[in-house]
């Protein structure tokens, strides 16, 4: 929930609390400079948690590029206010009724997903902020665009790896898996491409 809380070591009683506006991704550290103590906290969903916490992150509205990752540093006499984060953002999976979904292909696609996609885009098809939620992506519905992104490395500069080991048949399996997960989400209308 993004709350940073200090507790009394002897009683466990909460002493201080501050909302950091986004998931906390590491333990805090404390250090001193010229006798002044600081406490620093890394804020922003990422790292190993995205591999296991896609749906949990998504439930809190943490979405790809929607909120700012930051290092927040506190001191006892600090007076600056923390700039607010963008509000929670929730994926809107596309209905795409025109896509001919095959349950058999979707099930096979779940294995390709687990091996190649789930680490960044969420283990069950639900992304948690580290990468886009593909259930809401028009690119998945466009064979050419999907191939360019996944097989040809079109978005490599943005952090999307090129999967040379996958085939066009694997892409079809992935499309079916993603469409199945989008329909399971039961969310409404297809959004126009941006």
Confidence of residue 190 (pLDDT cuts 50, 70, 90): very low
Short-list 176, 19, 52, CA closest to 105: 176
Short-list 2, 92, 91, 89, CA closest to 45: 2
Question: Looking at 6-20, 59-73, 106-120, 173-187, which range is the least confident one?
Answer: 59-73
| Residue 2 predicted with pLDDT over 50 | yes
Q: What is the mean pLDDT of residues 9-36?
A: 91
pLDDT value of position 56: 73
The pTM is what? 0.75
> Using alpha carbons only, what angle is made at residue 76 by residues 74 and 80, rounded to the nearest 5 degrees?
55
**Residue entry with tokens 């898996």:** 177
pLDDT value of position 24: 83
């Amino acid at each position: 929930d993004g709350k940073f809380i200090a507790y009394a070591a002897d009683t466990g009683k909460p002493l201080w609390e501050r909302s950091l506006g986004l998931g906390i991704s590491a333990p805090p550290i404390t250090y001193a400079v010229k006798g002044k103590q600081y406490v620093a906290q890394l804020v922003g969903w990422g790292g190993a948690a995205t591999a296991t916490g896609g749906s949990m992150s998504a439930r809190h509205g943490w979405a790809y590029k929607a909120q700012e990752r930051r290092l927040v540093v506190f001191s006892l006499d600090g007076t600056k206010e923390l700039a607010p984060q963008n509000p929670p953002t929730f994926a809107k999976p596309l209905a795409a009724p025109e896509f001919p979904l095959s349950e058999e292909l979707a099930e096979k696609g779940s294995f390709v997903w687990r091996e190649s996609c789930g680490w960044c885009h969420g283990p069950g098809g639900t992304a948690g902020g580290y990468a886009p939620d593909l259930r809401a992506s028009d690119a998945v519905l466009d064979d050419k665009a999907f191939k360019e992104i996944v097989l040809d490395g079109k978005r490599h500069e943005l952090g999307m790896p090129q999967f040379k080991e996958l085939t066009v048949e694997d892409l079809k399996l992935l499309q079916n898996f993603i469409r199945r997960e989008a329909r399971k989400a039961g969310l409404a209308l297809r959004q126009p491409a941006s």
